[in-house]
A and B are shown apart, each in its own frame.
Chain A
Amino acid sequence: AQSVTQLGSHVSVSEGALVLLRCNYSSSVPPYLFWYVQYPNQGLQLLLKYTSAATLVKGINGFEAEFKKSETSFHLTKPSAHMSDAAEYFCAVTPYNRLAFGKGNQVVVIP
């Protein structure tokens, strides 16, 4: 079975500081990995995805993530946080579109 672990349900970051959200996965087959963002009472928006091509993946809104097989990780980063980055972030793993989500990180941006 596939699963992901996201540590630290709440993450506070100062505006302009680095955003780092950690995701570790477990998968019995080569994984496809995703990061999604969710704003209050809305659906999920794809930030970026890893699908076995380049290990460093760039996404929307300045986010990027690096797939490290040896560490079974897919951490999400953004060099400089904006107030608009305040949201819930979910890491997910799948084979065949049946997504298994992590518990999410609630990101708070401090002015």
Chain B
Amino acid sequence: GAVVSQHPSRVICKSGTSVKIECRSLDFQATTMFWYRQFPKKSLMLMATSNEGSKATYEQGVEKDKFLINHASLTLSTLTVTSAHPEDSSFYICSASAPGGNTEAFFGQGTRLTVV
């Protein structure tokens, strides 16, 4: 299957700083990427849908100014957690799909964010 690379896999940052997470589709073009958040022992919660060349669509309850999403190219989407707080500590996962409806979504390896 196709490969989606997410970086970094782990990051520890201080409260008040910003952290950028990258999601790359390595061998296909992804017009749409998705960002999920997973709390301990919980399911994945869709945060936002990232469309290349346009603004991201955020799910209800997700702060747009807190979680900045940029999808500048067909192979790269970034999630920036701004002014991070300990409650932002979580496992963040991206997924990407090739163009076309209902094709398989490929997932990145996830990023474990710890805010201290």
A interface list, Cβ under 8 A from B: 9, 32, 34, 36, 41-46, 49, 51, 90, 94-104, 106
Contacts and interface: CB of A to CB of B under 8 A. Distances in A.
Contacts of B49: 98
B32 A97 contact: yes
Interface stretch (B14-22, B67-75, B108-116): B108-116
Interface of B: 1, 4, 6, 32, 34, 41-44, 46, 49, 91, 93, 95, 97, 101-110, 112
B48 to A, nearest CB: 11
Nearest to B30: A97
Nearest to A9: B41
Given A90-B43, A103-B42, A51 B107 contact: no
Given A41-B110, A46-B1, A103-B43, A95 B6 contact: no
Contacts of B105: 34, 94, 97, 99
Contacts of B6: 43
B109 A42 contact: yes
B98 to A, nearest CB: 9
> Which of B4, B106, B112 has most A Cβ within 10 Å?
B106
Contacts of A99: 34, 44, 46, 95, 105
B102 A44 contact: no
B33 to A, nearest CB: 10
Given A41-B110, A41-B112, A43-B110, A51 B102 contact: yes
Given A43-B93, A44-B93, A97 B102 contact: yes
